[in-house]
Structure 1
Amino acid sequence: MTGIAFVGTGFVADYYKTTLSNHPELKLIGVYDRAPAELQRFCAFYSVPGYPSLDAVLDDSRVDIVVNLTNPESHYEISRRALDKGKHVYSEKPLAMHREEAEALVRFAAEKDLCLAAAPANALSPAHTAVAAAIAAGDIGTPRLAYAELEDGAVFRDRWKVWRSLSGARWPGLHEFEIGCTLEHAGYALSWLTSLLGPVETLTAFSSLTFPDKGEGTRHLAMGPDFSVGCLKFASGAVARLTCGLAAPRDRSLTILGDAGTILVRDLWDHHSPVYLEKAGAPRSIADKVRGRIERRLANVLHLRPRPGRRLALPVETPRAQLPAFPSQIDFSRGVAAQAKAIANGGAPFFSGDVALHIAELALALSGAGEQAAPYEVRSTFSPALAAVQAPRR
């Protein structure tokens, strides 16, 4: 049994508490939030103990892992303090708001012989396992090109001010607009891309604030970019395009094209996302043939996105994981569980140390690229052998 404590009880904390039931090997010792009302709300709803201070959390010998769920600007400070007190840390994304701070955290954790891991945990899913197995088996040959989309729709035009978590926490819309969609969302794609394709060598990116007026309460904010696009060159030779946005229709898909075929993941936010494999040169499906005939007869393109190839079977989970409601159907606590298991076995999980730093650097570079796109030499890296460990063979 591994004792954990949540620091921060805002909107995302409900996702971690909801999925904690999937991992009985984790025990929530208590929670802390600097806002007394937020702490009281969470503790009352879930009947969990609250700490009077951060020091009380860090001085509790029962706590092995501090789960840092504070706002992004506080990630560095809280993680540093926890590491300094001898606690392992699992941090929400990004690891820090500046590359130098992320580097310092990873270095400090190594010096203290502690494990520093970071979200997101969406690549620890049956969908990812199916994709990794297919690539490892050579089903698409050598991966050459990937397209990752993290478009979340025009959230700022929705009724986001009334959104509440299970325990009643407000969705922090204004703050998310200030941080920008790239720091909030790029990690969901980067977690898949780095685990499947390895480290990135170079990045060319562009980011912009395209909708500066996002409604009441936003006109005087210094907001982060709501659109970014990056072209990533991996050490393996593969190339990827990653787009993050907060205006275009929702699309969280990943397409990986190889010499021998293509894999499509419908939704990177879905633990059980449908995954499709299409072999190069395979006969066209009946649906595709019919669509082609209709288009020729109408002399017009049907704007449909047919399911390519065949749907892959996902590994069966018993019991089936309990997940948050749509659209965030991710086992958020699985990252903490993977960290706890690795620590117990004397190792470290994939999304820790150098990998966590690498993903943080890439997300920060994408978000801060600005409108003068230029090549960015990625300073961090990790051993491709780490990614290979994540790919099960059939």
Structure 2
Amino acid sequence: MSRTGRVGVGFIGSGMISEQYLENLTKFPDIEVVRIGDIDTERAAASAAKWGVDRSGTGDEVLADDDVEIVVNLTLPATHVEVSTAALRAGKHVWSEKPIGVDRESAKGLVDLAASLGLKLGIAPDTILGPGWQTAKRAIEAGVIGTPLTAVTSMQWQGPDVFHPNASFLYAKGAGPLFDIGPYYFTALVHLLGPIASVVATGTKSRDRRDLVTGPHAGESFPVEVPTHVSVLSSFEQGGQAQSLLSFDTPLFRHGVFEVNGTEGTIVLPDPNMFGGGWPIRVARPLSKDDSFPFTQQWETILDEEPNVGRGLGILDMARALRTGGSHIATGDVGYHVLDAMVSVEESIERRAFVEVESTVPPVASLPDGFDPFAATLESVTA
């Protein structure tokens, strides 16, 4: 069945992260949010009322709605594959929050299912589709730092239990700093340096139980099932290397350290977990033979205007591809490769050894220069 004009989107899951998606998707002219579903139907109804969405209900009602073309899967990581599979079998294209799943076998099965059904599968994050990251990516491709060689990334703080009323799932299998925050950093590295060939890592856990700090269950303890401080060395197929720290165990709050070193400079990029932060985007130039101690670093500014968009760009990119017949950027294949790399990190921690990453992906495309999420581009386009 051919479709014309705006692309209908339905949500399964109306928790905290849905607010960020809805704030943007309800402003994009090429998207129409038609239904919000949740296991808690009262929460879904409240969300629909807040964002001016006419219909709400259960997840099954989202899957049965003929006006829904893309299902946005915002459930817990452990159910990502289950919900995405149900949506694909219902004939819907799928955008899933990260990670794609929590194990290789089921995640690969999901990618293969989407391909066999001729449906699109998109996996978060889409922060790297923001104008800051895309500008930096194009600058690197144009040679602003020469040949990229290495990268250094860091995300460290005391953990999400300080603010999240249901933080226990963020310390369960399929989460922790590796699977909760790692997708942002590893996806960004793959976009810039290509597929990951191998990893070696260490991981520790500061304690076996934590306490909820906020919300109606504050004071209740919950088990910590995964490493909460992870250090990774990644080697890339194209020859680059990266050093990454992911921690929920440090009182020092340091987010968004992301630097790529090349033969002719170091570019400092925005936080890949955010659409803003880490501005301006700058390049540090090498010291010259005329420099003397104490050295003064020479900087060039690439971009100093913070973006006015947020989560939802990946869904918009997918929606436009549905109408034009093209391919979207944040594909299931990229999502699976990032999961494969993170599972390899997990295995490296357990084995205390290098682990080869079996999957690969072709170079990841960039959004076209001038991509405008607030333009109405699909009014007369028929899929």
After TM superposition, the score normalised by the length of structure 1 is 0.82
Q: Which amino acid aligns with 1:221?
A: P
Offset from partner CA, 1:143-197 (integer Å, 9 cap, x none): 111011122x113573x25xxxxxxxxx431221223121110111122111111
Offset from partner CA, 1:312-350 (integer Å, 9 cap, x none): 125x79xx625xxxxxxxx11111111112222212212
The alpha-carbon distance between structure 1 residues 108 and 118, as it changes in their structure 2 partners (threshold 3 A), is same
2:42 maps to which of 37, 45, 66? 37
Equivalent residue, structure 1, for 2:180: 184
Q: 2:226 matched to 1:247?
A: no
Q: Distance in 2 between matches of 1:284 and 1:213?
A: 56
Equivalent residue, structure 1, for 2:268: 264
The alpha-carbon distance between structure 1 residues 284 and 173, as it changes in their structure 2 partners (threshold 3 A), is farther
1:346 maps to which of 325, 332, 347? 325
The alpha-carbon distance between structure 1 residues 234 and 24, as it changes in their structure 2 partners (threshold 3 A), is same
Equivalent residue, structure 2, for 1:238: 240
Q: Distance in 2 between matches of 1:335 and 1:192?
A: 14
1:60-71 correspondence to structure 2 within 5 Å: 60-71=65-76
Q: Which amino acid aligns with 2:302?
A: L
1:110 maps to which of 109, 115, 118? 115
Deviates more, 1:87-96 or 1:196-205: 196-205
Q: Distance in 1 between matches of 2:197 and 2:88?
A: 29
Structure 2 unmatched runs, 5+: 1-5, 213-218, 371-383
The alpha-carbon distance between structure 1 residues 108 and 222, as it changes in their structure 2 partners (threshold 3 A), is same
1:1-394 correspondence to structure 2 within 5 Å: 1-151=6-156, 153-155=157-159, 158=162, 160=163, 171-178=165-172, 179-215=175-211, 219-248=221-250, 249=252, 250-272=254-276, 273-274=278-279, 275-282=281-288, 292=294, 309-313=299-303, 321-322=308-309, 331-367=310-346, 369-384=348-363, 387=364, 389=366
Do 1:106 and 1:353's aligned partners in 2 also have CA atoms closer than 8 Å? yes
The alpha-carbon distance between structure 1 residues 70 and 270, as it changes in their structure 2 partners (threshold 3 A), is closer
Kindly report structure 1 stretches of 4+ aligned residues shifted beyond 4 Å: 216-220, 282-285, 388-393
Q: Which amino acid aligns with 1:45?
A: K
Q: Distance in 2 between matches of 1:93 and 1:113?
A: 22
The alpha-carbon distance between structure 1 residues 335 and 284, as it changes in their structure 2 partners (threshold 3 A), is farther
Q: Distance in 1 between matches of 2:341 and 2:362?
A: 16
Structure 1 unmatched runs, 5+: 162-170, 294-305, 323-330
Q: Which amino acid aligns with 1:237?
A: G
Q: Distance in 2 between matches of 1:92 and 1:157?
A: 20
The alpha-carbon distance between structure 1 residues 353 and 157, as it changes in their structure 2 partners (threshold 3 A), is closer
After TM superposition, the score normalised by the length of structure 2 is 0.84
Q: Distance in 1 between matches of 2:46 and 2:138?
A: 43
Cα drift, residue 213 of structure 1: 3.7
Offset from partner CA, 1:2-35 (integer Å, 9 cap, x none): 1000100011111111122442211000110012
Q: Distance in 2 between matches of 1:284 and 1:154?
A: 43
Q: Distance in 1 between matches of 2:150 and 2:298?
A: 17
Cα drift, residue 243 of structure 1: 1.5
Q: Distance in 1 between matches of 2:12 and 2:365?
A: 33
Do 1:136 and 1:391's aligned partners in 2 also have CA atoms closer than 8 Å? no
Please tell me the root mean square deviation across aligned C-alpha atoms, in Å: 2.6
The alpha-carbon distance between structure 1 residues 122 and 307, as it changes in their structure 2 partners (threshold 3 A), is farther
Q: Distance in 2 between matches of 1:57 and 1:3?
A: 11
Do 1:202 and 1:378's aligned partners in 2 also have CA atoms closer than 8 Å? yes
